[in-house]
Amino acid sequence: MFLYPFKTIWLKAHTDRADIADKIIQQTYLSDAGYKKTDGLTKFFYGLANENEFVLENIGNPRIPAFYEGDILGVEEETYVKIRIGALKHTRMYVLYCLLLLMGFIFWLRGLLGMDTVDTNIMYIFSGVLIILLGYGYYFIWQFQRKLASGIDFFRGLLSADIVSGNDVPAIFKR
């Protein structure tokens, strides 16, 4: 979708699920472990991770996107990782932002065309707010697009995996 700050990728790793989970856990402050740092390694994420799935929030690397949610699928040496990279934690926040802009634009257009009687000072203020919201949305999406490639490369390197298309993944692993 155009301007949609979320992307799903598939990675094919040549290790088992436990090894993939261990690599992700080494980079993560685990929320179910009482937020404790168990070793001296640098941690980039906060969240949950196990052998089946992970939900991560970027807290330590400013060059990669903010949120990662993934499923670890497969058996033995044929393991696929489905990663949903997002600028927002939930899609509904983006939809709410877009609806807010749409309603604001409709109000602004009705006032501009004279369909509603609106004070000109209110229209100036509202126009400024609408322009600021549009600018913030553009900046937000631009930042996500700029960081997306480095986020994908980070996980490719971390998991020693290759990017595959969704068509190359066996149907039994897709949900």
Name the strands in the sheet holding 53-58, side by side, starting at the edge strand that comes first in the sequence: 28-30, 45-49, 53-58, 67-75, 78-86, 6-13, 161-164
pLDDT given for residue 92 in this prediction: 84
8 A C-beta contact, residue 141 and residue 3? yes
Q: What is the pLDDT of residue 87?
A: 87
Distance CA 12, CA 169 (A): 8
CA–chain centroid gap for 140, Å, is 12
**Which pLDDT belongs to residue 34?**
55
Span 72-85, pLDDT tens digits:
998 877 899 999 99
Q: What is the pLDDT of residues 55-64, one digit of tens each?
A: 999 988 889 9
Regions of the chain where pLDDT drops below 70: 1-3, 31-41, 175
